[in-house]
Amino acid sequence: MKDPKAHPTKAFRAAILHSLANPTDVGLENSYQYFEDGMLLVADGHIVNVGHAEDILPMLDASIEVVELDGKLIMPGFIDTHIHYPQTGMIAAYGDQLIDWLNNYTFPEERRFEDDDYARDVAVHFLDELARNGTTTALVFGTVHKSSVDVFFQEAEKRNLRMIAGKVLMDRNAPDDLTDTPESGYADSKALIEKWHNKGRLHYAITPRFAPTSSSEQLRLAGKLRQEYPDVYLHTHLSENPKEIEWVAELFPDSKNYLDVYDSHGLLSNRSVFAHGIHLCEQECARLAETDSAIAFCPTSNLFLGSGLFPLSKMEQSGIKVGMGTDVGAGTSFSLLQTMSEAYKVMQLQGEKLHPLKSLYQATLGGAKALSLDNDIGNLEVGKEADFVVIDLHATQLMKFRMEHAESLEDKLFVLMTLGDDRAVFDTYSYGQSVYPVNNR
Ligand code: GUN
Ligand code: ZN
């Protein structure tokens, strides 16, 4: 990556929009930067300048290639803080809520990942789909099979993506051929950490599926791994569905609440990401905030499985970091734009408005903060890694027509988030290189 000939300095000219901070903390006006005729200068995978084209152009050496993106909008790459790559082949499965959906659709599909060739094929489709949707970083579930994660990391490494993934830990309440043991889960996770964690742009997440499918002994060993590797992530599900919550109370009668199952096994930290957290009590919220743990808000999944309405404001008021997750395959779209559109509706149903600049923050810098990666990614500040997406605001006939009636930047952004999806993604760059699927061009 250090060979300057392989990665020459490149300039990208387009409108540029990125978040600088959470609008809830600094107000809308101070939360973003926008350059109508902007320029992004990229060298060696990093952003070396960003600003008005008229200011940067005179400084450019004649040898520097300028990529003219007339009429396009550059934004930071989207960050998906919760997704399952093995569920790509069963997205949009009809009729069930969480527990039945897992038994009827998810487990049968995840069994197929015993076969490495199948796993690789899905991983390639999955990574193409992320790129097609402008997602440059994701926190990803594998299956219980160690090799499912090996294969995933191999494919992510080829594209030089900043990805976090982990092998599922599951030693009970699941089909026999999909379970590990506390010891084998520990050993397999450890081997994967040694092989992949912090290799290039890759990171490992210890991944117990959720409390009902892990014994206390398995969770204890997950906690041991966390102690041995303190900068490794912890990724699991939490408080998604009322029946699930009742089940956890039966399985762990000594725990104060659902979160306490994880807490009592040493699984909470600033590297812990819990998907959903829809039905949390005050105590659980306080503990998440105290430990700087994050929640992944997954609106398309929460609606699709009928799980409930995520109380975003309550979470933020409690001081909890929140990122956005698609949760494919319970989620119904890989697109963070569509995910924000559904988030808006979830907030409408609670009598609240989710501002488009807040949505932009949630899908980019907020996600990076939730993953403790905001020193490297999340916006287009100088020094950060050059992960960005080139948006076509006129991608469909309807968007084109509607944009004519959009006056302000905020209007345009809201239309993009409400009507846009993968069709609005013109190109996706990871570490300064396009990763957009060749078969789409
Ligand atoms: N809880 C446990 N496993 C899963 C899963 O695969 N998807 C979702 N949405 N929730 C879960
Ligand atoms: Zn999930």
pLDDT (tens digit, 9 = 90+) per residue, 374-386?
999 999 999 999 9
How far is the centre of ligand 1, averaged over its atoms, from the C-alpha of 237 (Å)?
A: 7
Answer with the one of 334, 368, 399 that is the final residue of a domain. Answer: 334
Domain count, the chain: 2
Q: Is 359 inside a domain boundary?
A: no
Index of the ligand 1 atom closest to the CA of residue 210: 2
Whether the pLDDT of residue 207 is over 60: the answer is yes
- CB of 387 sitting under 6 A from ligand 1: no
How far is the centre of ligand 2, averaged over its atoms, from the C-alpha of 200 (Å)?
A: 26
- Tell me which ligand sits closest to the C-alpha of residue 244: 1
Query: Dihedral through CA 131, CA 154, CA 148, CA 224, nearest 10?
Result: -110
Please indicate, yes or no, whether residues 328 and 382 belong to a single structural domain of this protein.
no
Please indicate, yes or no, whether residues 291 and 429 belong to a single structural domain of this protein.
no
- CB of 240 sitting under 6 A from ligand 1: yes
- CB of 327 sitting under 6 A from ligand 1: yes
Beta pairing class for 388-391 and 65-76: antiparallel
Q: What is the pLDDT of residues 281-291, one digit of tens each?
A: 999 999 999 99
How far is the centre of ligand 2, averaged over its atoms, from the C-alpha of 82 (Å)?
A: 6
Mutate to test the pocket of ligand 1, among 98, 179, 207, 274 (most ligand atoms within 8 A of CB): 98
Using an 8 Å Cβ cutoff, are 7 and 1 in contact?
Answer: yes
Q: Is 266 inside a domain boundary?
A: yes
Q: What is the pLDDT of residues 18-59, one digit of tens each?
A: 999 999 999 999 999 999 999 999 999 999 999 999 999 999
Please indicate, yes or no, whether residues 194 and 109 belong to a single structural domain of this protein.
yes
Whether the pLDDT of residue 347 is over 60: the answer is yes
Q: Which domain holds residue 384?
A: 10-77+378-440
Residue 30, Cα to own-chain centre: how many angstroms? 25
Please indicate, yes or no, whether residues 71 and 110 belong to a single structural domain of this protein.
no
- CB of 237 sitting under 6 A from ligand 1: yes
Average pLDDT rounded to a whole number, residues 342-348: 98
- pTM listed for this prediction: 0.98
- CB of 276 sitting under 6 A from ligand 1: no
Please indicate, yes or no, whether residues 60 and 108 belong to a single structural domain of this protein.
no
Please indicate, yes or no, whether residues 105 and 64 belong to a single structural domain of this protein.
no
Please indicate, yes or no, whether residues 41 and 94 belong to a single structural domain of this protein.
no
Whether the pLDDT of residue 89 is over 90: the answer is yes
Please indicate, yes or no, whether residues 94 and 157 belong to a single structural domain of this protein.
yes
Please indicate, yes or no, whether residues 135 and 254 belong to a single structural domain of this protein.
yes
pLDDT (0 to 100) of residue 64:
96
In percent, how much of the chain has pLDDT > 70? Answer: 98
Residue 319 in 3-state DSSP? coil
Q: What is the pLDDT of residues 290-304, one digit of tens each?
A: 999 999 999 999 999
pLDDT (0 to 100) of residue 439:
78
Q: How confident is the model at residue 2 (pLDDT cuts 50, 70, 90)?
A: very low
Beta pairing class for 272-276 and 162-166: unpaired
Answer with the one of 298, 317, 334 that is the final residue of a domain. Answer: 334
Domain containing residue 93: CATH number = 3.20.20.140
- CB of 110 sitting under 6 A from ligand 1: no
How far is the centre of ligand 2, averaged over its atoms, from the C-alpha of 295 (Å)?
A: 12
Please indicate, yes or no, whether residues 99 and 120 belong to a single structural domain of this protein.
yes
Q: How far apart are CA 280 and CA 262, in angstroms?
A: 14
Q: Is 36 inside a domain boundary?
A: yes
Please indicate, yes or no, whether residues 307 and 188 belong to a single structural domain of this protein.
yes
- Tell me which ligand sits closest to the C-alpha of residue 174: 1
> Can you say whether the dihedral through the CA atoms of 324, 330, 335, 341 is positive or negative?
negative
Q: Is 362 inside a domain boundary?
A: no
Please indicate, yes or no, whether residues 85 and 28 belong to a single structural domain of this protein.
no
- For ligand 1, atom 9, name the residue with the nearest CA: 330
pLDDT (0 to 100) of residue 5:
47
Q: How confident is the model at residue 1 (pLDDT cuts 50, 70, 90)?
A: very low
pLDDT (0 to 100) of residue 7:
62
pLDDT (0 to 100) of residue 440:
77
